[in-house]
């Protein structure tokens, strides 16, 4: 099992968890056009903030300030960023992919990048 990541903004005390988006590992985050758009948009709209990727499974904190435990209190803004990208016609939401009939919270959003279409 590979390392999974969240994008953490220490300055604003926010995270992009990529929850319900089929990307969490390095190759998935880079290769998935939706997660790439989410990451790029967030970074561009938070210039000057202290932002980094942090493994959510390992107890490794890559920065001099803050700690992995602090992240538990940060606000998850993934859905807000996705909605902004949908409003700007960069992403389109094509519904949800459910994995189990008896687990309605286990799903991924089917997001597609439509910027160049």
- Cα 103 to chain centroid distance, Å, stands at 22
Q: What pLDDT, on a 0 to 100 scale, did the predictor assign at position 2?
A: 65
Q: What pLDDT, on a 0 to 100 scale, did the predictor assign at position 112?
A: 93
Distances (CA, A) of 12 to 49, 70, 71: 7, 12, 11
Name 108's bridge partners.
97
pTM score, whole prediction: 0.89
Q: What is the pLDDT along the chain (117 residues), one digit of tens a residue?
A: 567 899 999 999 999 999 899 898 999 999 999 999 999 999 999 999 999 999 877 777 888 888 888 898 999 999 999 999 999 999 999 988 888 888 888 878 899 999 877
From 108, 116, 53, 55, select the one nearest 82 (Cα to Cα): 108
Q: What pLDDT, on a 0 to 100 scale, did the predictor assign at position 1?
A: 53
């Amino acid at each position: 099992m590979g390392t999974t990541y969240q994008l953490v903004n220490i300055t604003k005390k926010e995270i992009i968890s990529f929850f319900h988006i089929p990307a969490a590992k390095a190759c998935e985050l880079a290769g998935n056009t939706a997660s790439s758009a989410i990451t790029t948009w967030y970074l561009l709209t938070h210039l000057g903030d202290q932002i980094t990727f942090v493994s959510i499974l390992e107890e490794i904190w890559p920065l001099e300030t803050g700690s992995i435990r602090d992240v538990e209190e940060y606000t998850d803004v993934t859905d807000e960023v996705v909605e902004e990208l949908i409003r700007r016609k960069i992403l389109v939401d094509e519904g949800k992919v459910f994995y189990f009939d008896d687990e309605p919270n286990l799903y991924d959003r089917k997001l597609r990048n439509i910027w160049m279409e």
